[in-house]
């Protein structure tokens, strides 16, 4: 079942006085099936973040369409965007984006509280998730008291607690050491195995090699894509590395 469909997405940035135009996204089309784990790779400036921001409804494209469950996200009125995001999307960011005024527990509760859930429900929802992510012990600590890995698990917990249609992750391992990064990727695989759709933007070959499909972005276009098929993580790693090398050296010819 197709969950997310991106059709001919274009984004052009115009400098303040309109003299210079920059194409961040030239023409992007792809679709995401429900339950998929997709990684989007590309160098800096390839349009990854712009794409993610548009998918997150934080930014508007210049042209094209984004359909979630067949409905266009671009037609949602400004006022309803916040609740749309709250109900349908979960976010995980590179720099965690936890509120330092809240304990981890309250950070995870935040979207639920905003959705008006009763506090008894909150407790029921958080227990299994915290257990699964291994942060039960640190729930009542504050962001500055825990490690980066724990912060990011907390951010993941916050993203999945609302049972979103899709999780958008922006370089989730970017600020973590290799050990924490590995176990975080484990977490992503686990939640994906539970049926959660994940769309992850990353630089890291290792992170991307966990995904079921990898899209390669360059100069605002999808350059290439790889399906995992029956490959192991290691095989995926090798294929992704090769692709990146090709893109960096003789990529132009294939474009």
Partner 1 sequence: MRKISLYPRLAILNIKSNRQFYLPYILTCIATIAMFYIMTFLTFSDGTLSLQGGDILFFILKLGMIIIGLFSAIFLTYTNSFLMKRRKKELGLYNILGMGKGNIAVVLFFETMFVAVGTIVLGLALGILLSKLVLLLLYKIVRFPVPFGFEVSLEGLTYSFCVFGAVFTLILIFNLISIRHASPIELLHGSNVGEKEPKVKWAAAFLGVISLSGGYYIALATENPLQAIMLFFVAVLLVIIGTYLLFTASSIAILKRLKAKPGYYYQPRHFIPISGMLYRMKQNAVGLANICILSTMVLVMVSGTVCLYLGTEDSLFAGYPNDFSVNVRAPEGNARENLRRLIEQTIAEEGYTGENTQDYISLSTQTYRDGNNLCLSPDYGYDINNSAIISIMSQSEYEHFSGESVALSSCEALLYSSIDNFGSEINLDGSRFEIVGDMNAPSLAASPSISTIIDSFCMVVSNESFEMLKEKYNDVTESWYYGFDIAAGSEEKLSFYDVLTNAPVSFPSDSLDGGYVSLSTSCREAERSFIYSMNGGFLFLGMFLGLVFLMATVLIIYYKQLSEGYEDKQRFEIMQKVGLGKDEIKEAVRSQILVVFFLPLGMAVIHIAFAFKMITKLLLLMNLTNVSLFAVCVVCTVAVFAIIYGIVYTLTAKTYYRIVE
Q: Of 44 and 101, which CB lies nearer to partner 1 in the complex structure? A: 101
112: which residues sit within 8 A by CB, 6+ positions away?
121, 122, 125, 161, 162
Task: Read off the tokens for 244.
Answer: 């990146």
B/e letters for 46-58, b = 16+ CB within 10 Å, e = fewer, are: bbbbbbbbbbbbe
* 131 contact partners, CB below 8 Å, separation of at least 6: none
Q: Which of 118, 163 has the CB closer to partner 1?
A: 118
Give me the least distance between CB of 5 and partner 1, in Å please.
22
Q: Is 116 in the site for partner 1 (CB under 8 A)?
A: yes
Whole-angstrom Cα distance, residue 63 to residue 166? 22
Candidate residues 81, 175, 203, 233; the one interacting with partner 1 per rule CB under 8 A: 81
- String of contacts with partner 1 for each residue 188-227, x by CB under 8 A: ----------------------------------------
Smallest gap from Cβ 250 to partner 1, in A, equals: 38
Q: Which of 86, 84, 80 is nearest to 109 (CA)?
A: 86
The distance of closest approach from Cβ of residue 67 to partner 1 in the complex, given in angstroms and rounded to an integer, is: 20
Distance CA 68, CA 8 (A): 15
Binding of partner 1 by 100 (CB under 8 A):
yes
Residue 115 beta carbon to partner 1: minimum distance, rounded to whole angstroms: 8
Residues in the chain: 255
Question: Is residue 114 within the footprint of partner 1 (CB under 8 A)?
Answer: yes
The token duo for 139 is 């729930």
The number of CA neighbours under 13 Å toward the Cβ of 185 is 24
Is residue 102 a contact point for partner 1 (CB under 8 A)?
yes
110 binds partner 1 (CB under 8 A): yes
Residues 122-161 as x/- pattern, contact with partner 1 by CB under 8 A: x-------------------xxx-------------x---
How far apart, in Å, are the Cα atoms of 211 and each of 9, 152, 159? 23, 18, 18
Q: How far is the CB of 159 from partner 1 (least distance, A)?
A: 9
Nearer to partner 1, 55 or 222 (CB): 55
Query: Alpha carbon of 29 to those of 144, 148, 167: distances in Å?
Result: 40, 34, 19
Residues of this chain that interact with partner 1 (CB under 8 A) are: 56, 58, 79, 81-83, 85-87, 89, 91, 93, 97-103, 106, 109-111, 113-114, 116-119, 122, 142-144, 158
């Amino acid at each position: 079942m197709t969950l997310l469909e991106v059709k001919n997405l274009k984004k052009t940035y115009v400098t303040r006085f309109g003299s210079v135009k920059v194409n961040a996204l030239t023409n992007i089309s792809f679709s995401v099936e429900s339950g998929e784990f997709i990684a989007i790779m590309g160098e800096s400036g390839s349009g990854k973040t712009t794409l993610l921001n548009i998918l997150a409804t934080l930014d508007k494209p210049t042209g094209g369409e984004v359909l979630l469950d067949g409905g266009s996200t671009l037609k949602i009125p400004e006022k309803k965007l916040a609740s749309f995001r709250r109900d349908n999307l979960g976010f995980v960011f590179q720099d965690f984006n936890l509120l330092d005024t809240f304990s981890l527990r309250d950070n995870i509760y935040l979207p639920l509280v905003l959705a008006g859930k009763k506090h008894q429900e909150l407790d029921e929802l958080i227990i299994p998730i915290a257990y699964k992510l291994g942060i039960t012990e640190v729930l009542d600590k504050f962001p500055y008291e825990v490690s980066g890995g724990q912060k990011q698990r907390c951010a993941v917990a916050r993203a999945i607690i609302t049972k979103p249609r899709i999780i958008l992750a922006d370089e989730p391992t970017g600020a973590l050491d290799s050990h924490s990064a590995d176990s975080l990727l484990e977490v992503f695989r686990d939640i994906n195995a539970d049926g959660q759709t994940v769309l992850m933007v990353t630089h890291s070959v290792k992170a991307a090699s966990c995904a079921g499909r990898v899209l390669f972005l360059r100069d605002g276009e999808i350059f290439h894509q790889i399906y995992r098929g029956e490959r192991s993580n290691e095989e995926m790693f090798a294929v992704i590395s090769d692709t990146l090398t090709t893109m960096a050296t003789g990529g132009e010819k294939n474009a």
